[in-house]
Amino acid sequence: MAQCIDVNIDISGGSWASEISWDITDADGMLVTNGVAGATSVCLDEGCYSFNGYDAYGDGWNGNIATATDPDGNVLMSWDGPLVDVGSAELCVEGGDDPVDPPAECEGSDLAVDISGGSWASEISWDIADADGNLVASGVAGASSVCLNDGCYTVTGYD
């Protein structure tokens, strides 16, 4: 089995970074990892993924750019984020298989998540896990939509 490859992800360069979150899904639509604006490193197997970007306020990434680089500094992806609340870009690591298309339509139930009101919304995030404890969705304060198959889920909120 091949070792995973360290991929550096940096989302910066604009304003309102506290509204930004992202996740990476594999060719089967399974969540691989997630995060918020800033710099981080994730270890990904060779292949192609969907890099999904979210904006809690729904007005785009306000000049922020997501850049993914390999350990040698080669740019694997550079994307200026969604124009509204959600969007996707392709991220391929070390010449993976054919690119994956972002999911077109929800084949399960489309769940509306709206975390609003109060103060310090930038401190709020949430996760949704399936019955086996696998992370299937995550986000930050604001309105978003999550596609879920029938089943039982656990929603966890963080402040």
Distances (CA, A) of 107 to 47, 56, 67, 149: 24, 24, 30, 7
| Tokens at 6, concatenated | 């360290």
Domains in the chain, number: 2
Residues 64 and 131 in one domain: no
Residue 98 in domain? no
CA atoms of 30 and 151, how far apart (whole Å): 16
pLDDT of res. 12:
92
pLDDT tens sequence across 113-131: 777 777 777 677 778 888 8
Task: Going from the first residue of the chain to its last (159 residues), give the mean pLDDT of each consecutive group of 10, the final group possibly shorter.
Answer: 83 90 90 93 92 88 90 90 84 63 62 75 78 80 76 83
Give φ, ψ of 129 to 5 degrees: -120, 145
CA atoms of 121 and 155, how far apart (whole Å): 18
pLDDT of res. 21:
93
pLDDT of res. 128:
84
DSSP reduced 3-state for 107: coil
Structural domain containing residue 152: 109-158
pLDDT of res. 98:
45
- DSSP letter, residue 57: T
